[in-house]
Amino acid sequence: MLDTNEKLPRNLRESNRDNRPSTLLLLAGVVALAFVALPIFYLFRLAKRSDVETLTLLIFRAKTAEIIFTTISLATLVSLFATVLGLTLAWTLHNVKIPRNNLFRALVMIPIAIPSYIYAYCWLSLEALPRGYFSALIVLTLATTPYIILATFSAFSRIDLAQLEVAQTLGDNPLRLFTRVIFPQIRNTILAGSLLVTLYVLSDFGAVSLLGVDTLTRAIQNTYQGSYDRSSAAVLAIILLILSALVIFRENLWRNESYHTITSSSITKAGKKYTQRRVRILASTLIVAYILVALLLPMSLLIQRFVTRERALDLSNLFNVTSSTIVVSAIGAVLAIAISIPLALLSLTGSRLGKFAEWGVFLVHALPGIVMGLALVSFGAQFSFIYQTLILLAIAYSILFLARSVGFISSSISRVPKNLEEISSTLGKNKRETFFRVTLPLALPGILSGALLIFLSAMKELPATLMLRPTGFETLATEIWSSANIFRFSEAAPYALLLVIFAAIPAFLISRPDRQNSNRGEIS
């Protein structure tokens, strides 16, 4: 009996053979997946220690239902408001001719470097605004809107303008053009951005704690610290993990139900910009208002608190804390890239293990920092040589932000021209040599972007850092938290200001609005 591959044409048999993951890649992928599964395994192991009575009381009490409802409603509303605001700003910057467009693009992206707890710190430092749910809604919307802007910028640049021109010739007005032609083409990107926002809110700890909002993350931390009951905290963490996984599953279903067809090569054709005076004034007003509220106001508050502080600045401590933040974030970024490369390569093969790796990365992406911290505390307690060490904290960073680096690396590798890899093969190079000599150098810019994104995220990470840091080890995030949590805003200001400045550098390098092509037509 002939092998199934023998029934295929020779070129297809060779293509299938080439796509099969090598033994070395399979081994690296399995090791990476084991690394990813570690926190989930220990989380469920910790939860199993709860007795049935305690478990029933915890899950079915009215307070738990109230906390879950608060968490879900806050995540839903923030995702809705951030998506509408971010989409509006991105469309405005992409389609309206306004002066200093590239400068505005850079300014609307810089708030991505400001973590939610710094927004909450600024909100409270105004000393005229209340704490509570409404404040958390505003703060988290400001903190997450840049993620939507960043995602939709790239989506607008890939719109098939041929379809747009056909709709215009049929007399469609701007609203119908957007709903019938533009939105179907950017829907998947918007859903991906909304997913990121929802997961951000579900995992947020700093802002909701400072503003006094009882969400699952705050309940987990209070349960863990108040009674040192790790098993009950693990049960709440699993509830949060399940909510996050359901959000990912629902978003993937929506994306699979959405499709559109690119009709021609006019995707690369320049579109037209609106130049009417009224439109330009409205657009400029909206953008300036957002920049004032999301960037200039918090920065001015930080500077004001820094200048008017009563205590002298401890430069030695500031330098040590900054160095610690940079070192541990860099180690986490390097570890994440090392784990991400085999997982990204596996996902691109289309194999069963590749699909499993992709879902594993998605599931880990649903792990909030506080859940990761709780799971790795349990893991570290079993191995004293790693407990409360810098490497355990770096491991937490690498797993927490793994999905982001895998996405960057997969996208970068998939864009490498296949003909170059084929030429390498014809010159007698095997897969490993082709990867290191051809694929990796061409994909390196995207890989470095992924590393920058992880570095940025790790610098801002608070709950996992609070739970896993070595004794006496402080980062910029924990110094801000320590002072702001007891309302010593002036003492927190230098650390908050420095964190935003350092985080703004990789944020700008990732978005690079100056790369956008501004040579487009105009609609007068």
pLDDT value at residue 10 = 42
Instruction: Give the residue, 276 or 129, on which the prediction is more confident.
Output: 276
Kindly indicate the confidence band of residue 255, based on its pLDDT and cuts at 50, 70 and 90: low
Least reliable range by pLDDT among 159-173, 255-269, 375-389 = 255-269
Helix axis angle, 489-511 relative to 133-157, nearest 10°?
Answer: 20
How many whole angstroms from its chain centre is CA 197?
Answer: 8
Residues 416 and 442: beta-carbon distance below 8 Å: yes
How far apart are the C-alpha atoms of 195 and 180, rounded to whole Å?
23
What percentage of the chain reaches a pLDDT higher than 90?
A: 13
Mean pLDDT computed over every residue of the chain: 78
Q: Which residues contact 341 (CB under 8 A, 6 or more apart)?
A: 409, 447
Residues 107 and 100: beta-carbon distance below 8 Å: no
What percentage of the chain reaches a pLDDT higher than 70?
A: 79
Closest among 167, 189, 171, 177 to 95, alpha carbons compared: 177
The structure tokens 């996050």 sit at 244
Residues 110 and 507: beta-carbon distance below 8 Å: yes
Q: Which residues contact 96 (CB under 8 A, 6 or more apart)?
A: 273, 274, 279, 280, 283
| CB-CB neighbours of 25 under 10 Å | 21
How far apart are the C-alpha atoms of 329 and 454, rounded to whole Å?
8
Residues 393 and 327: beta-carbon distance below 8 Å: no
Name, of 81-85, 180-184, 201-205, 461-465, the range with top average pLDDT.
81-85
Least reliable range by pLDDT among 44-58, 346-360, 444-458 = 346-360
Sign of CA dihedral 313, 319, 322, 325: negative
Residues 348 and 357: beta-carbon distance below 8 Å: no
Strand partners, 272: 521
- Single-letter amino acid, residue 490: S
How far apart are the C-alpha atoms of 294 and 292, rounded to whole Å?
6
Closest among 121, 74, 156 to 476, alpha carbons compared: 121
Assigned token pair, 391: 């490497």
Tell the burial category of 257 from Cβ atoms under 10 Å away from its Cβ (0-12, 13-18, 19+): exposed
Closest among 394, 384, 50 to 229, alpha carbons compared: 50
For residue 294, the 8-state DSSP code is I
pLDDT value at residue 159 = 62
pLDDT value at residue 378 = 82
CATH 1.10.3720.10 intervals, the chain = 22-39+310-474, 61-308
For the chain, the 3-state helix, strand and coil shares in percent, each to the nearest 5, are 80, 0, 20
Query: Given a cut of 90, is residue 249 above it in pLDDT?
Result: no
Assigned token pair, 96: 């309206």
Kindly indicate the confidence band of residue 20, based on its pLDDT and cuts at 50, 70 and 90: low
Three-class secondary structure of residue 228 per DSSP:
coil
Q: Where are the alpha helices (DSSP H) in 271-400?
A: 277-291, 297-307, 315-349, 352-365, 369-382, 390-400
Closest among 244, 234, 249, 146 to 201, alpha carbons compared: 244
Ordered DSSP codes for 122-170 = HHHHTSSS--SHHHHHHHHHHHHHHHHHHHHHHHHHT--HHHHHHHHHT
Kindly indicate the confidence band of residue 182, based on its pLDDT and cuts at 50, 70 and 90: low
Residues 373 and 467: beta-carbon distance below 8 Å: yes
Please say whether the structural domain 61-308 has been given the CATH code 1.10.260.40.
Answer: no
How far apart are the C-alpha atoms of 437 and 29, rounded to whole Å?
21
Kindly indicate the confidence band of residue 30, based on its pLDDT and cuts at 50, 70 and 90: confident
Instruction: Please write the tens of the pLDDT for every residue from 134-168.
Output: 999 999 999 999 888 887 876 666 665 555 555 55
CATH entry, 22-39+310-474, from 2.60.40.420, 3.40.50.720, 3.40.50.11540, 1.10.3720.10: 1.10.3720.10
Are β-strands 521-523 and 272-274 bridged in parallel, bridged antiparallel, or unpaired?
Answer: parallel
pLDDT value at residue 158 = 61
Kindly indicate the confidence band of residue 270, based on its pLDDT and cuts at 50, 70 and 90: very low
Query: Given a cut of 60, is residue 446 above it in pLDDT?
Result: yes
